[in-house]
Each structure stands twice: as C-alpha cells, then as structure tokens.
Amino acid sequence: MPYPVLRVHLDIMENNITKIVLKAAEHGISVWAVTKGLSAPLQLARMLSGTKVSALADSRIMNIRRIKEDGIKTPLALIRIPMPSEINDVIELADYSLVSDLGTLELMSKACESKKKEHSVLLMADMGDLREGFWPDKAEAIAAGVKNLSPALNIVGIGVNYGCASGVLPSRESMEKFVSFGEKIESELGKKLEIYSGGATTRSLIAMDEGLFPERVNNLRIGEGYLLGSDKSSGVIVPWLRQDTMELEAELVEVRRKPTKPIGEVGRDAFGNVPCFEDRGDRLRGILAIGRQDVNIGGLTPLEEGVKIITASSDHLLVDMEECPAEHKVGGILRFKLDYPAMLSSSTSPYVTKIYEGWC
C-alpha cells in the first residue's frame, strides 16, 4: 500500500452524526452535514445520505456535482458564496445556496428564469465575524432588493457564520439579533422564512443545552463536530462524541541517532523561518516520508508513546524517538491524530492515500 495513508472510520463518524442529529432534534434543530473537511468523498456522502441529516453541504461546486452524479438523493447545499462565473452550475446542481450580495441574487434570478428551475437561498447575516453576510440593520433595504426577483429564486431563510474568519463566538445576544434580522426580512417580504441557520460547529454543540439558541433558530451546518468530535474554535472536544474518527499513517525511511543541535551556521529553512533547537545531546531520530506538501504538520499529534515531532520539510517529517518504548526500524509505520487543518490539507493532497473503513 502506498504511504502516507489517511485512514477514515466512517462507522464512528456515522455514530457521531446520529448523536448530533438526535440532540439537535431535541431543540427543534435540523442538521446539514458539511462534507468539505474531507473533500467530500463519495463514501462519506453515501454514508451521510443514509442518516437523518436534512442536507449535505459543501463549499465546492465540483464536489456537489460529483455527489449529485452519484445518484445521492439527499438535498445539496453550496455553503461558499456563489461566484458569478459558477451561477449556472449552482442553479443546476445545488438545492440551496448561501448568498450575501444583491447583485449575485439578481444573476441567480435570471439563471432560474432561463433554466426554468427553482433554487432556494439563505440570506447570510454578518454578526461580527466579518466574513460573509449582510449587515443586520440593513434588513429592510435587503428585502426591498429581493422583492422583484424571480419567484423561482426562493428566499427560504437566513444564515450566519461564526469563528471561521475572526474567531468571533456566538452568544445568546448575538443570536437574538440574528433572529430579529430574519423577522424584519419576513415583515418586508410578507412571508415566513423556513430556515434560521444559526451557524456551524463553533460553540453550537457544547452550548446547545445551555440555551444558546432562540426558538426560531432551527438549523445548524455541522462538519468538524462529526468528522473529529471537536470544536477547534472553542478549543474543546465534544465529550459526548468520539474523536478517534481517523488517523494519518506514515512510513519511516531513516532511524538513526543524531545530534539535537544543527552543525554549522544556521540560516533560513525552506519556508523562510530561522529554526532554533535546544542542544540535548545525541538522540534517536526518525524521518518519515511525509511533509508540508502533504499535510499541515502543526495539526498532527503522534499516537505512538514517546514520539515527538521536531520539524518538517516539504517532503520529510523529523521525529524524536528517544523515549519511545517500542523499537522501530526503517519501513515501520507511525500513526498521528489530526486536527481540522491537518484533516483538510491531507484530504486534498494527491500524495496521501485515502482509505475509508467501517461502512459499506
């Protein structure tokens, strides 16, 4: 088998998403399962389509195309702002999209008319994270801007994002302002909005039972929660979910005792950094055939006792193995836990073999 390998346990992820859907349902909240963290492999999409999620959500229209062409019937949502250049594909392939620009809505309206096809839109509100979204105090003007759009472009709800750009976390006060934004839109349009999508994994799962969400919030877009059982923005694991959903395996290509302090004048490394190393004498060091071109090294945690990451180049990962009780030789395999950036980067790397286990 070609290494490195990203080994994904779909059965554990299925267990996680099932728990999330059930807990959310207790609060009247539906769940869109976000697939982008693993680059939307069909094995994952097929597993999720057999659960009680109300949609599969991804940020790339090419991923949505692949899922749709596979025959999966679960509704599909594009959760990155549609580019004008891809609007025809968005209308053709996705059931929902998240939009934060009136010009984009006008282009989508024309595409719906020309294709004679309906499409549903959530208007995004910016509640302080300063990523996508209309300003909430402009609700009346926004509603006025969409009144004359084609009825085929159905404004079905509002959405908000937290944590991804500026690290802003949701609060009860912010959620209430978000709901107020939606209710102003409803008043201007003269219709009730079906979906109030209150964000993603960020704080949602750990604070759901603490009254974070007003009653009108009835949808969440969850990725990291079921993929990793964690909430990186809040810096916690979700205690009622499992975290052993995947691991990265890499092959040792050198095992040798070497000094811990470089020999000679030290300049910048291949990535422009000036490294600094403590002199700890000679220690057992391993080199793995994986590097920064394959994965975000900072997001890896060794699963092998006594192994510590030293540094990495584009193609090699250096680890200290002095305190590892197990004996390792060239050709041996070391395993690592991944955080969200490491998962994201390894899943998009063509040099990493992906293996999906535990579900068929």
Structure tokens belonging to residue 336: 């690592």
Tokens 């949602």 identify what position? 204
CA dist., res. 60 & res. 188, Å (int): 32
- How far apart, in whole angstroms, are the C-alpha atoms of residue 352 and residue 273? 26
Asked if 192 is an active-site residue, the reply is no
What values do phi and psi take at 297, rounded to 5? -60, -35
257: helix, strand or coil: strand
Check: CB of residue 59 under 8 Å from CB of residue 96. no
H or E element that contains 63: helix 61-69
DSSP assignment letter at 83? P
Separation CA 72–CA 145 (nearest Å)? 34
Q: From the candidates 19, 36, 68, 337, give the one annotated as an active-site residue.
A: 36
The strand pair at 55-58 and 76-78 is best described as: parallel
Please list, in sequence order, all residues whose beta carbon lies within 8 angstroms of the beta carbon of residue 187, skipping any fewer than 6 positions away: 143
Paired with 256 in beta bridges are 285
| Pairs from 65-70 (Cβ < 8 Å, separation ≥ 24) | 65/89, 65/93, 66/40, 66/42, 67/35, 67/40, 67/42, 68/93, 70/42, 70/45, 70/46
Distance between CA atoms of residues 56 and 74, nearest Å: 7
191-230 burial by CB neighbour count: b if 16+ within 10 A, else e? eebebbbbbbbbbbbbbbeeebbbebbbbbbbbbbbbbbb
Instruction: Name residue 220's beta-bridge partners.
Output: 31
Active-site residues: which are they? 36
